[in-house]
Amino acid sequence: MNSTGRVVPGYGIASASMMYGTGSFSAQISPSPTMSPAVPPESMPNVADGLVGLFVAAALIVLLAAMILVAKMYDLSRRREGQAVSLEARISNSLRADPLLSSLPVVPTVKIPLWRGSPVVIAMTGSVPRSQLRHAALELALREAERRARTYLLEDRILVDPAMARRAA
């Protein structure tokens, strides 16, 4: 309404609020696309962070697998070492039990490789006064090896020293 009492279109709310002193005025705004609030870059997921995490997880898995493999290989080597010591002891006991060979310095050394298909290596070292005693010691080692190993390799490192017979006499 104006001073003449006429109603002026479009000014009704504004003039009423000025007259009555409510002090509030609302305006209509045309709808426009709203923008999302800005997210700081620190809180956004980063592709590089995901790759780093994936790399760390893969490295831990590889490290765990390597540790398991090392433990298995160590266990296998300890088991093979025990088998080698057992075969050495059997051959040594057989040498001591034979009356002809018990006084001679003949020593077996057994090595069992880690790989299953490889032959057991038995090295006979020492010295004997006659070649017949050398053959007897090698035959004894062969008999024990046949009982305990599928495949074996006998290394003859026994020296025939005829001077031993003269010293012993």
Residue 116 lies inside a defined structural domain of this protein: yes
Residue 64 lies inside a defined structural domain of this protein: no
Q: pLDDT by residue for the chain (169 residues), tens digit each? A: 555 555 555 555 555 555 555 555 555 555 655 655 555 556 556 777 788 889 999 999 999 999 999 999 999 999 999 999 999 999 999 999 999 888 899 999 999 998 888 899 999 999 999 999 999 999 999 999 998 888 889 999 999 988 876 665 4
Residue 91 lies inside a defined structural domain of this protein: yes
> Counting every residue, how long is the chain?
169
Please state whether the predicted TM-score (pTM) of the whole model is above 0.75. no
The three-state secondary structure class of 128 is strand
Residue 44 lies inside a defined structural domain of this protein: no
CB contact at 8 A, 55 and 62: no
Residue 164 lies inside a defined structural domain of this protein: yes
Q: What CATH number is associated with residue 140?
A: 3.30.300
Residue 45 lies inside a defined structural domain of this protein: no
Query: β-pairing, 106-111 with 152-160?
Result: unpaired
**C-alpha gyration radius of the chain:** 48
Question: What domain range includes position 145?
Answer: 79-168
Total domain count, the chain: 1
CA-based nearest residue to 98, from 138, 140, 127? 140
Residue 90 lies inside a defined structural domain of this protein: yes
Residue 17 lies inside a defined structural domain of this protein: no
